[in-house]
């Protein structure tokens, strides 16, 4: 199938498929006589793997490692588990950071009167980060 069909089947854009090929996550596509990229069911399977990995928040570097592990039938599942655990730790850290940001912003919003007066704790907080020192 051509890149448009592969994009439709995989849920990825043609641009992303070309990008994944350019960075080595996907092997170079075979070409038709007229030079168009051609994809087979193995390529679609790999694209689905990449898409699912990205949907789970794995970085491109991590996806590359996962692909290598997936393609190595002799690999230990412990290696895959260790990579997934590292990703969970990174997600937990990001969740904690986002939770803290949300809580801070919530406190600022609650302290703002939101009336006709110009005094605004939200803007004061943002201003306080400026030009320290």
Number of H helices, E strands in the chain: 6, 2
**Domain regions of the chain by residue span:** 1-59, 76-133
To the nearest whole number, what is the mean pLDDT of the chain?
A: 94
Q: Is the dihedral of CA 101, 104, 108, 111 positive or negative?
A: positive
- Mean pLDDT, range 59-85, rounded to an integer: 96
What pLDDT digit, counting tens, does each position of 83-120 carry?
999 999 999 999 999 999 999 999 999 999 888 888 89
Strands 37-38 and 30-31: antiparallel
39 neighbors 77 (Cβ within 8 angstroms): no
Q: Under CATH, which architecture does the 1-59 domain have?
A: Orthogonal Bundle (1.10)
What is the CB neighbour count within 10 angstroms for residue 42? 9
When mean pLDDT is compared across 7-21, 36-50, 69-83, 108-122, the lowest value belongs to 108-122
**Residues 104/129, Cβ–Cβ less than 8 Å:** no
**Res 71 pLDDT > 70:** yes
Secondary structure letter of residue 35 according to DSSP = S
Considering the entire predicted model, what is its pTM? 0.81
């Amino acid at each position: 199938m051509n890149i448009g069909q592969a994009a439709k089947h995989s849920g990825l854009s043609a641009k992303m498929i070309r990008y994944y090929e350019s960075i080595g996550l996907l092997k170079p596509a075979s070409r038709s006589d007229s030079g168009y990229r051609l994809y087979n069911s193995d390529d679609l399977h790999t694209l689905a793997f990449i898409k699912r990995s990205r949907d789970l928040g794995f970085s491109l570097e991590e996806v590359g490692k996962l692909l290598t592990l997936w393609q190595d039938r002799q690999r230990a599942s412990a290696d895959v588990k260790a990579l997934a655990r590292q990703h969970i730790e990174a997600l937990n850290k990001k969740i904690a950071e986002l939770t803290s940001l949300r809580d801070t912003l919530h406190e600022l919003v609650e302290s703002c009167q939101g009336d006709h007066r110009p005094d605004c704790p939200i803007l004061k907080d943002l201003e306080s980060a400026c030009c320290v020192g």
